[in-house]
Amino acid sequence: MFDLRTVLPNFYCQHMPSYNKPHQIPVAFMSFEIIHSMFLDQTAKICDIVKPPTNQLTYEKVIKQLETLKYNFKEERERTLWGDIHLCEIKNLLLSLRWRLFLKCLPENSSLWTSVINEERKKYEDLCINYSNELIYLSNSNPLDSYSNEANLIAPDPNESAGIDIEKVKVSWDIKKDIRRTKLEKIFQTCENRQMLHRILFLFAVKHPELNYTQGMNELIAVIFNVTIIDYSKISKLLEQQKNVQTDTLLRQLFSPQYLEHDVYCLFEHLMDIVNIWYESTENHSNTILFRCEQIAEILRVKDPHIYQMFSALGVEPQLFLLRWVRILFCQMFNTNELYYIWDILFAHNNPLSLLNYLCVVLMLLPRSKICSGDGVNVFNIFFNYPNDFSIYFITHCAIITEREKDRPIFEVLFPIQSFKKDKRKTKSPSLQQIQKELTFNTSNTLDTDSMYMQLVFIEDSLEKAMEFLPSSSKERQLVSQGLKEVIKMKIDVKLAQTFPKRRDY
């Protein structure tokens, strides 16, 4: 019988029951989210190895991506969510265009792209005109060389604010301090670019006083800026080598370096429409943030009761690290490619905030062996310096699947907290039948075997797809073939599970 712990030993901890080979848990009693995510993870890794994309983005690839987003946007969205896009190809994607579509900066109807993008750029120019006095002050009080890391930071003199509201002067100063230490792609770490980001964040703050500026926004806009300027630079070089006037016209409009600042602002503003609940500066702000954190903690209680109890026993308050995660969308947790991969999936989801909650829950419960073996301080060290034990594929797929199965626990079934009752008069280990009989189940959370069977079919298709790229005599193909046989066995087990005696409620 398949035992997940032999494949993913990090999921086991000393506080959970351990069964030897004759006492392995039937597949029908496992959390399907874990099984499904594991196979999607392995399939993606195999594809990364056997069919890595070329590092160079060609004009033909750009046109192919553009056509896909124009005519098959919904399919591309599903493809993004279910793992057909791999980490090794993330740098060759037109992420800035994808995110503009995912975040609704641009409509799905490609015939409207030109008019919409021109309208958005005009709005930004009007915004600059409306706050021209403030921008003049910002420029005069912040010369280019002051953005250099070597320059000394000198706080502005309130008496020399040239009639500008003192609160705006303070906001501008807070932004500049953060922008100076914001991480940009090395090639784009210029004073001009930092001043541009300063200007964008300042305009956003004065336009949206309910949000103002809060530390963390600088991290978000840095990612957007890096992705956008990389795309615009690559497309500009490719267009210089092409003479296809009809196609060039659309590409030049979408990726015009002249409007880089306009487009970064638009994308940032739409992103803030999603995450603004974590930045609101209203009177009830603290209560709202605490409520959001409690919502995530409640999801954790359902998905992994044991870790939830551990947090309570150790006095761990999740909001202390959750705020750091959600406000900057994991910017300081993953490397650049992994971060772009997570954002791409997050934005492609129909409800990014909901998926964000489940990503947090998955990140909290995965390092369970380290959590259960330490104290409260150790737990905070884990979450502030997240371990590199789990692949980005596994994390994202597990979050997507658990978000769709909201009321089903992940580890209560796989590792029951109270697995079976021991009879003190007996020393013999319980049989498999006893374990099946004594396992505690909540009928509201029992597995939907019909749904599980259909998802196993999906995994089977994914593995068959991976085998198409593998040489017939390769070791990798043998491993995938073995996994495929296991999936087929699981399908049989799931069908048999429908004939099991009714599970007992205690």
Tokens of 319: 């909001």
Extents of the domains making up the chain = 110-278
Contact partners, residue 26, CB within 8 Å, separation at least 6: 1, 432, 436, 493, 497
CB 228 within 8 A of CB 167: no
CA distance 252 to 25: 58
- Start-to-end Cα distance in the chain: 27
Distance from the Cα of residue 33 to its chain's centroid: 17
Which pLDDT score is estimated for 470? 73
Tokens of 265: 């602002």
CA distance 2 to 162: 72
CA distance 170 to 166: 6
Q: Is 116 exposed, middle or buried (0-12, 13-18, 19+ CB in 10 A)?
A: middle
Which pLDDT score is estimated for 39? 59
The dihedral over CA atoms of 229, 234, 235, 237, expressed in degrees to the nearest 10, equals 120
Tokens of 6: 């032999």
Which pLDDT score is estimated for 432? 41
Residues found in the chain: 506
* Per-residue pLDDT tens digits of the chain, which is 506 residues long: 333 334 444 433 333 333 333 333 344 444 555 556 665 666 666 666 655 556 688 888 999 999 999 999 999 998 898 777 888 888 899 999 999 999 999 999 999 999 999 999 999 999 999 999 999 989 988 899 989 888 777 777 766 666 788 889 899 999 999 999 888 888 888 999 999 999 999 999 999 998 999 999 999 999 999 999 999 999 999 988 877 666 678 899 999 999 999 999 999 999 999 999 888 766 666 778 888 899 999 999 988 888 898 888 888 889 889 998 999 999 989 999 999 999 999 999 999 999 999 999 999 988 887 887 776 778 888 898 998 888 898 899 889 988 887 777 775 444 443 333 333 443 344 444 443 343 333 333 334 455 566 666 667 766 777 777 777 777 777 877 887 788 788 777 776 665 544 443 33
Tokens of 493: 């087990």
CB 278 within 8 A of CB 213: no
CA distances from 222 to 37, 116, 139, 189, 200 (A): 31, 24, 20, 11, 11
Full DSSP string of 244-294? -HHHHHHHHHHT-GGGHHHHHHHHHHHHHHHHGGGT--STTHHHHHHHHHH
CB 483 within 8 A of CB 42: yes
Which pLDDT score is estimated for 32? 53
CA distances from 87 to 41, 80, 360, 450 (A): 11, 11, 20, 32
Task: Name residue 363's amino acid.
Answer: L
Which pLDDT score is estimated for 29? 41
CA distance 155 to 432: 71
